[in-house]
Amino acid sequence: MAKTPVIAIVDDDEGVRTSLASLVRSLGYEAHAYASGAEFLRQSPGNDPTCMIADIQMPVITGDELQAQLVASGRRFPIIFMTAFPSELVRQRVMAAGAHCFLGKPSSGDEIIRCLEEALAGQAQQ
Amino acid sequence: MTIVDQATGPSVSRIGLRFWSAALAVAVFLVDVLTPLEGAVAVLYVVAILLAARTNRRHDIMVAAAGCAALTIVAYLLSHGLQSIASPALRALVSLAAIAITTVLALQNHTATNRLAAQARLLNLSHDMIFVRNRANVITFWNKAAEQTYGWSADEALGKIADELLQTTYPDRRDVIEAGLLDTGRWEGRVQQRTKGGAAITVDTRWALQHNHLRKPVAVLETHTDVTERVMAHGALVESERRYRRMFDASRIGVAEEDWSDLRKALTALNLDGAGLRDHLSRHPDFFWQVRPLAKITNVNPALQKMVGASSSSVFIANIDKLLDRSDRKFVGALVAFAEGEPFYEGETELIRLDGRKIPVLFTISFPAGPDGDRNVLAFVVDITERRQAQDALLAAQADLAHAARVATLGEISASIAHEVNQPLAAIVTSGEAGLRWLRRDVPDLREVATTINHVVAQGRRAGEVVARIRTFLKKAPPQQDMLQIGDIIEEATSLVARELAKDDVVLTVEIEAGLPPIRGDRIQLQQVLVNLLINAGQAMSGQSGSRVVTLRAGIAQAENLAITVQDSGPGIRPDDLPRLFDPFFTTKNGGMGMGLAISRTTVEAHGGQLSAESIPGSGATFRLTLPFSQQHALP
């Protein structure tokens, strides 16, 4: 493993953000936390993470809007969505757009880790 | 009209009488001297003296007597010189004796006449109407007061039949009264009469029967006192008393008549002013109950008896100490008001019925001014049980409705609330998992473990706060009257809706002026009003693509009011909807109950404030609520 995978965490809720970052780091990955989609988009495309964990319900730019913008600008990496309001409609939309996982809140750590590791394994194969 | 005038007679004047008296005396003298008549001509001098006496002047009688005596002696000396002639001298002596006797009698008559005249003048001085009628009821004397009161002059009244002239109405049959008068010589009574002007007057009359020397009744002296005004005043007084009694007996307001004069004496003996008395009462709490028996209840009306379940006024009075609530300090206020000379004291208190049940009452104690005021203290008492019950029921209904509306409001934003609880729960679960992993590493990273545990605790607290906030908001409690800082209420309300507004991309700005005074009211109800306005503002903009801004401002309006405005940047309110906005069940939202604003306005008005809305279509709506600042800053 040449380089430690970087996981981007985008959630407007500070508590959720911090706990996810801790979990990611406990797995040995590097965690970059962002309070909003806009904050993430401000950084240059060259530093794209290996994977992203994002909330759906966020003010100004929602999780699925963020995904759409990234797809539109050709920035492709696996995205794991986590939402307190898992609706089938949104699930179908983000999955169709290439999301890796769609999890409800709260989800067990095992589930998050399984999704994350699957996503990273997929990345490694490419 | 006087008796003196009658004696003189209207036809012959005083000067005339003196002239004829003198002329007669001179004529007798001439006859006596010039004629050879050997008779007692000089005896005729007595006629001259009687004429002079008719002038009713003592001086005239004396002059006439002296003149006649002198003329008799001169005539004797001219006719007979100093020779003593038995027969003529005897005649002259007889003449002189006749003159002397006549003079004495005339002088006596004159004195008696004067005495009668003085008595008649006294009768005229009387304020009472006095007249004399003879046995045929014909008026023979009529005094000045009778002239003035009845209107007929003496000339008009004399010779008239008294009963016909005065149209007297008697309390009894006239012949019975007359019989009584003849029997006892007196009669007293009250009769109605008419004056010359036709006015009816009431007089108290006293009759006295006058007898002649043979004990035969000859005349009646009637003395009348005009009591018309006194009778009318008395009648008015009786009517007033009757009216008061009717009110006292029939009123639904409880009334107690009390005599506080002994209490006044006790207070005066203390020699304290109002503040001093208040101080004395606070240091000696039982003082009121010591002096209370001095405020004697003299009568209690049926309404008040019924109010406490007493069967009579005396039962009420006997149990008065049981009826009053000993812990109530309002009676102290009444005592101070009484001591300070206030005209009344009013308040609300509770009476304890004889069956032990308490009833809320409104009372006024009036302390009449004037010398007898302290003896006529009146306490008015109104039972407000029903009013109180209705008021309580209304308040309870309002509280229930407001509660239902709060539940509905939270229902509307339940998704946001679920999210708000879910977020910390998600963070707790994830942190826990992370902590476990840090712990299970080959070399456990205890620093990271501690961080995650701290995180779990903080997020657990956060979830607890959200739940507590919602529980408080949903609490069903009677309205409170607390001193509140508007900043706290705004903070709580915005916390409840923050997530909901954020979800819809609404930016909330809050501007609160520094140093706002406290307000008085119910925290939850006011919070509910703000939550309502904020949610409405957010929802008003849900359909628009542009920026969504809600601005809440709090500041001072007209010195004694707090003003809060909630302004949105939505499409505004349609002019047609504006007047109906606060009507119950009026809504522009799909599935809206239409009670939010109606309840909000009721709540604000119950707090003494106002809630209004204004809107310029196309540029948002502004809701403005004002609340009075609490006047009792000193209270905790």
Do residues B298 and B417 make contact, with C-beta atoms less than 8 angstroms apart?
no
Which one of A9, A12, A20, A23 makes the best mutation probe of the B interface by having the most chain B beta carbons within 10 Å?
Answer: A23
| pLDDT (tens digit per residue) in B497-535 | 888 888 788 889 999 999 889 999 988 889 999 998 998
Q: Which residues contact B383 (CB under 8 A, 6 or more apart)?
A: B254, B307, B359, B360, B361
Query: What is the C-alpha separation between B316 and B510, in angstroms, rounded?
Result: 62
Q: Is any Cβ of chain A less than 8 angstroms from the Cβ of B415? A: yes
pLDDT at B636: 34
A25 to chain B: closest CA residue = B434
Which one of A7, A13, A58 makes the best mutation probe of the B interface by having the most chain B beta carbons within 10 Å?
Answer: A13
Q: What is the DSSP string of B481-514?
A: -EEE-HHHHHHHHHHHHHHHHHHTTPEEEEEE-T
- In DSSP terms, which residues pair with B203 in a beta bridge? B191, B226
CA distance A95 to chain B (A): 22
Q: Is any Cβ of chain A less than 8 angstroms from the Cβ of B416? A: no
Give the rounded distance of the alpha carbon of B353 from its chain centre: 29
Q: Which residues contact B582 (CB under 8 A, 6 or more apart)?
A: B597, B598, B600, B601, B611, B613
| pLDDT (tens digit per residue) in B543-595 | 888 888 999 999 988 878 899 999 999 888 888 888 888 887 787 776 666 77
Is B419's CB within 8 Å of A85's CB?
A: yes
Query: What is the C-alpha separation between B532 and B418, in angstroms, rounded?
Result: 19
Question: Residue length, chain B?
Answer: 636
Do residues B41 and B31 make contact, with C-beta atoms less than 8 angstroms apart?
yes
Query: What is the C-alpha separation between B99 and B65, in angstroms, rounded?
Result: 6
pLDDT at B8: 41
- In the A/B pair of chains, how many CB contacts fall below 8 A? 90
Query: What is the C-alpha separation between B577 and B97, in angstroms, rounded?
Result: 133
The CATH homologous superfamily to which domain A6-125 belongs is Response regulator (3.40.50.2300)
Q: Give B430's contacts in chain A (Cβ within 8 Å).
A: 16, 19-20, 22-23, 106, 109, 112
pLDDT-derived band at B9, boundaries 50, 70, 90:
very low
Q: Is the pLDDT of residue B4 over 60?
A: no
Of B323, B348, B324, B344, the residue nearest B334 (C-alpha)? B344
Is B430's CB within 8 Å of A106's CB?
A: yes
Q: Is the pLDDT of residue B23 over 80?
A: yes
Average pLDDT, chain B: 85
Is A109's CB within 8 Å of B418's CB?
A: no
pLDDT at B5: 43
| pLDDT (tens digit per residue) in B573-586 | 888 888 888 887 78
Q: Give A15's contacts in chain B (Cβ within 8 Å).
A: 423-424, 427, 455, 458-459, 462
Nearest to A105 among B426, B437, B455 (CB): B426
CA distance A56 to chain B (A): 11
- In DSSP terms, which residues pair with B259 in a beta bridge? B296
Of B527, B532, B515, the residue nearest B480 (C-alpha)? B527
Query: What is the C-alpha separation between B626 and B609, in angstroms, rounded?
Result: 5
Complex ipTM > 0.95: no
Least confidently predicted of A8-22, B317-331, B435-449: B317-331
- Structural domains of chain B ordered from first start: 3-123 (no CATH), 126-231 (3.30.450.20), 251-383 (3.30.450.20), 398-628 (3.30.565.10)
Q: Is any Cβ of chain B less than 8 angstroms from the Cβ of A62? A: no
CA distance A84 to chain B (A): 6
The DSSP bridge pattern shows strands B519-521 and B482-484 to be: antiparallel
A:77-96 residues touching chain B, CB 8 A cutoff: 82, 84-85
Element (H, E) at A24: helix A14-26
Q: Is any Cβ of chain B less than 8 angstroms from the Cβ of A15? A: yes
B:429-488 residues touching chain A, CB 8 A cutoff: 429-438, 441, 445, 448, 451-452, 455, 458-459, 462
Is B193 or B283 the better-scoring residue by pLDDT?
B193
Q: Give B429's contacts in chain A (Cβ within 8 Å).
A: 106-109
Average pLDDT, chain A: 88
Give the angle subtended at the CA of B61 by the CAs of B55 and B66, to the nearest 5°. 145
Q: Which residues contact B538 (CB under 8 A, 6 or more apart)?
A: B497, B500, B501, B504, B506, B548, B550, B568
Q: Is the pLDDT of residue B158 over 60?
A: yes
Nearest to B452 among A16, A22, A84 (CB): A22
What amino acid occupies position B336?
V
Nearest to A19 among B427, B436, B441 (CB): B427
Of A110, B324, B547, the residue nearest B335 (C-alpha)? B324
Domain ranges of chain A: 6-125
- Quick check: bond before A106 cis, omega within 30? yes
Query: What is the C-alpha separation between B611 and B602, in angstroms, rounded?
Result: 9
Query: What is the C-alpha separation between B55 and B375, in angstroms, rounded?
Result: 67
Give, in order, the Cα–Cα distances in Å from B125 to each of B130, B150, B338, B591, B596.
10, 16, 50, 101, 90
pLDDT at B6: 43
Q: Is the pLDDT of residue B110 over 50?
A: yes
Residue B369: is it exposed, middle or buried by C-beta count within 10 angstroms (0-12/13-18/19+)? exposed
Please give the sequence-ordered ranges of beta strands (E in DSSP) within B197-328, or none if there are none: 200-211, 217-226, 254-259, 296-300
Is A19's CB within 8 Å of B430's CB?
A: yes
CA distance B328 to chain A (A): 56
pLDDT at B84: 63
Do residues B352 and B358 make contact, with C-beta atoms less than 8 angstroms apart?
yes
Structure tokens at B493: 């309300």
pLDDT at B620: 87
Query: What is the C-alpha separation between A43 and A46, in angstroms, rounded?
Result: 8
Query: What is the C-alpha separation between B441 and B436, in angstroms, rounded?
Result: 9
Of B570, B578, B529, the residue nearest B551 (C-alpha)? B570
To the nearest 10 degrees (0 to 180), the angle between helices B446-474 and A14-26 is: 150
Is A42 or B274 the better-scoring residue by pLDDT?
A42
Is B448's CB within 8 Å of A109's CB?
A: no
Q: What is the mean pLDDT of residues B458-475?
A: 89
Is B438's CB within 8 Å of A26's CB?
A: yes
pLDDT at B7: 40
Give the rounded distance of the alpha carbon of B125 from its chain centre: 43
Nearest to A23 among B423, B433, B502 (CB): B433
Element (H, E) at B414: helix B414-440
Q: Which residues contact B562 (CB under 8 A, 6 or more apart)?
A: B486, B516, B517, B519, B554, B555, B556, B609, B626, B627, B628, B629
| pLDDT (tens digit per residue) in B170-179 | 988 988 998 8
CB atoms < 10 A from the CB of B635, how many?
10
Which one of A9, A16, A115 makes the best mutation probe of the B interface by having the most chain B beta carbons within 10 Å?
Answer: A16
Query: What is the C-alpha separation between A93 and B626, in angstroms, rounded?
Result: 48
Helix, strand, or coil here: B206? strand
Of B462, B563, B556, B569, the residue nearest B508 (C-alpha)? B569
The alpha-helical segments, DSSP class H, found in B14-171 are 14-34, 45-53, 58-80, 86-125, 144-150, 154-157, 162-166
Q: Which residues contact B158 (CB under 8 A, 6 or more apart)?
A: B139, B140, B141, B142
Nearest to A15 among B423, B436, B445 (CB): B423
Is A106's CB within 8 Å of B429's CB?
A: yes
pLDDT at B337: 86
Q: What is the pLDDT along chain A (126 residues), one digit of tens a residue?
A: 457 899 999 998 899 999 999 999 999 999 999 999 999 999 877 888 999 999 988 877 889 899 999 999 888 899 999 988 788 888 999 999 889 999 988 788 888 999 999 999 887 766
CB atoms < 10 A from the CB of B211, how many?
11
Residue B253: is it exposed, middle or buried by C-beta count within 10 angstroms (0-12/13-18/19+)? middle
CA distance A22 to chain B (A): 6
